Amino acid sequence: MTYSDYSTALVTGASTGMGAAVVRQFTERGLTVHAVARDAARLAELAAETGAIVHAVDLTDTDAIERELGDLEIDVLVNNAGVSAPGNILDVERHTVDAMVDVNLRAVLHLSRLLVPGMVERDLGHIVNISSIAGHYNFFGHTAYHATKAAVHQISRQLRNDTLGKRIRVTEVSPGRVETEIFGRNLGGSPEAMKEAWETYYEGYESLTTADIVGAIDYAIAAPRHANLGLIEIMPTFQVPGGLTFDRRAE
């Protein structure tokens, strides 16, 4: 099941960053791509550039997902959309937890529920779930984000069980730090916040780029039909997830 086996794809979080890069790659590969995001203006620019079919959908709205996307026949599903926010369980706000559960987890489940049965019926399909090293390793902060990405890891494993005996592949791509807008959005999304995020998290670092993530996805999809690349962990060479902290108390 290389690209020649597939005709259609759906990519969430498609208006920017990794999602937009995947849309560009897929259209260059000859797929008809459905690009999903909230930002209608950016989607329109992407459509003009790539010819993608765009859907301005809020993934926290399950009714909208079903109405707009539920009847599509999709061969390659890329669950890329994700949100994050600063804060651990001691100081995180209710709306932040809800947003991460809704986008990072609930939307993945519902899109799989709606689109994977068609793949099973056609005996053909590939699901790519973008998780994070935060779903595999514990480090400080972002507790809800860690939890939702860990759930994406388990969903990816479980989808292999659910589709056993069918020619359907599931790939989880688990990146470390990638140069995207996510840190800037965490700081408020203003031009000043984007500049601060770049200087704090990217300037002077050799981070991953969206091209690195697209390359990993491309490799998994282009693999021979008998080969399923289940988990691709991709990190900057100078970033490691390990480290031990021992907090000492005097009393």
3-state secondary structure of 39: coil
CA distance linking residue 176 with residue 209, whole number of Å? 10
Could you count the other beta carbons within 10 Å of the beta carbon of residue 83? 20
- The answer as to whether 128 is a domain residue is yes
- The answer as to whether 208 is a domain residue is yes
- The answer as to whether 246 is a domain residue is no
CA distance linking residue 221 with residue 168, whole number of Å? 11
- The answer as to whether 124 is a domain residue is yes
- The answer as to whether 92 is a domain residue is yes
Lowest mean pLDDT among 104-108, 152-156, 179-183: 179-183
3-state secondary structure of 178: strand
Helices (DSSP H) in 101-141: which residue ranges?
A: 107-122
- The answer as to whether 19 is a domain residue is yes
- The answer as to whether 240 is a domain residue is no
**At 2, is the pLDDT very low, low, confident or very high (cuts 50, 70, 90)?**
confident
CA distance linking residue 31 with residue 8, whole number of Å? 5
Residue 156 to residues 91, 132, 149, Cα–Cα distance (Å): 30, 13, 11
3 is catalytic: no
* pLDDT one-digit tens code per residue, 21-54: 999 999 999 999 999 999 999 999 999 999 999 9
The domain of 156 spans: 3-234
Tokens at 180, concatenated: 């995207």
The H or E element spanning position 17 is helix 17-28
CA distance linking residue 247 with residue 67, whole number of Å? 51
The reported pTM is 0.91
* pLDDT one-digit tens code per residue, 157-192: 999 999 999 999 999 999 998 876 666 566 566 777
Q: Within a 13 Å sphere around the CA of 122, how many CA atoms are in the beta-carbon half? A: 18
Query: What's the total number of domains in the chain?
Result: 1
Looking up residue 195, the CATH number of its domain turns out to be 3.40.50.720
* pLDDT one-digit tens code per residue, 188-242: 667 776 676 666 666 777 888 999 999 999 999 999 999 999 999 999 988 888 8
- The answer as to whether 180 is a domain residue is yes
Residue with tokens 């860990």: 150
Q: Annotated catalytic residue: which of 3, 6, 137, 145?
A: 145
Burial of 126-153, coded b for 16+ CB within 10 Å and e otherwise, reads bbbbbbbbbbbbeeeebbbbbbbbbbbb
